[in-house]
């Protein structure tokens, strides 16, 4: 759990600096029990404001982002074998014999939580020994910044369960190229 908590704190700081143009690192932080309190209260029909997902606003200036995004953070997931640690890979989506790959399971959880809170699913993940990546709905991605549409370092795929097209790219590439102002201004209502 410490590994996941550290990653959530790292992502919270990066999002805070991005959101405030480098001025503050404390605008976002881990949700209560990493979203666990939201999940438990939801089971009894109660809501917990801005606590769905792994990251929440610790300052009101961050609320516009958290009201739009349900952020799920995942790191690690390597399995120890007698030959070392095996790494999961995005290419598992193509050639794995698993019924559901690690990334598909992560995305499914992210999507479920986002549906419950009526927000956009944003999955931020890091494989062992690699840099963080972000996975999001391609349609939403185009609404926030179409300039990255043709970037060579991104992957587009179709979620087999929903037919939704998603995009995966380096987290720092996303932060460097998407202005927080595009998130702050209202985005047209989603089409179902």
Residue 73's pLDDT is 96
- Residue 118 in contact with residue 106, Cβ under 8 Å? no
51 Cβ contact list (under 8 Å, min separation 6): 31, 32, 35, 37, 38
Tens digits of pLDDT across the chain (192 residues): 456 689 999 999 999 999 999 999 999 999 864 444 444 544 455 455 555 689 999 999 999 999 999 999 999 876 656 555 566 777 777 777 778 888 888 999 999 989 988 999 999 999 888 899 999 998 888 888 756 666 667 787 777 677 788 889 999 999 988 889 888 765 544 433
- Residue 103 in contact with residue 88, Cβ under 8 Å? yes
Location of structure tokens 């516009």:
64
Residue 2's pLDDT is 56
- Residue 11 in contact with residue 27, Cβ under 8 Å? no
Residue 189's pLDDT is 47
Residue 81's pLDDT is 60
**Segment holding 126, helix H or strand E:** strand 120-126
The dihedral sign for the CA sequence 23, 27, 29, 35? negative
List the one residue out of 156, 113, 153, 154 whose CA is nearest residue 137: 156
pLDDT in tens, 29-71: 998 644 444 445 444 554 555 556 899 999 999 999 999 999 9
Residue 139's pLDDT is 87
């Amino acid at each position: 759990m410490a590994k996941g908590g550290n990653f959530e704190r790292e992502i919270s700081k990066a999002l805070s600096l991005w959101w405030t143009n480098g001025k503050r690192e404390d605008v976002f932080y881990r949700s209560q029990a990493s979203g666990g309190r939201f999940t438990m209260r939801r089971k009894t029909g109660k809501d917990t404001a801005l606590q769905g997902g792994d990251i929440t606003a610790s300052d009101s200036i961050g609320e516009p982002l958290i009201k739009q995004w349900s952020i799920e953070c995942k790191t690690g997931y390597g399995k120890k074998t007698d030959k070392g640690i095996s790494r999961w890979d995005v290419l598992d989506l193509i050639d794995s014999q698993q019924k559901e790959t690690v990334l598909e399971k992560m995305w499914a959880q992210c999507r479920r939580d986002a549906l419950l809170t009526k927000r956009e699913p944003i999955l931020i993940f890091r494989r062992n020994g690699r840099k963080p990546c972000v996975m999001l709905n391609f349609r939403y991605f185009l609404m926030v910044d179409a300039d990255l549409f043709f970037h060579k370092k991104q992957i587009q795929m179709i979620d087999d369960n929903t037919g939704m097209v998603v995009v995966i790219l380096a987290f720092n590439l996303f932060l460097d190229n998407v202005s927080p102002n595009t998130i702050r201004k209202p985005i047209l209502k989603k089409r179902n």
